[in-house]
Structure 1
Amino acid sequence: MAFEGKKESTEALTEADVKALLQQVAWDVVPQLAEALLREELDKQLKD
């Protein structure tokens, strides 16, 4: 998953945009955190 595109300064970021950006940073900068986020999301989806 990659954060693609650049938002114009006048366009607000959506919650999904922010989440995607944070997850991309996590994958790039903090692999262990990214793994934890992924596991948390998978656990959440399995419970639904």
Structure 2
Amino acid sequence: MRGLLYLIAVILIIGWILGFFVYSVGAIIHVLLVIAVIVILLDIIRGRRA
């Protein structure tokens, strides 16, 4: 499950970077970044408790 969360986070971060530098679509790109950061933080928090 941890690998899947990292994969989702990486995909979202890459999407944010591409969207930021290639095509600006407004706040949607920043929402992707926020979601990626939340996924990473959740994984770190869950990893420490386990």
TM-score (norm 1): 0.48
Normalized per residue, the structure richer in helix is 2
Higher relative contact order (CA 8 A, sep 6+): 2
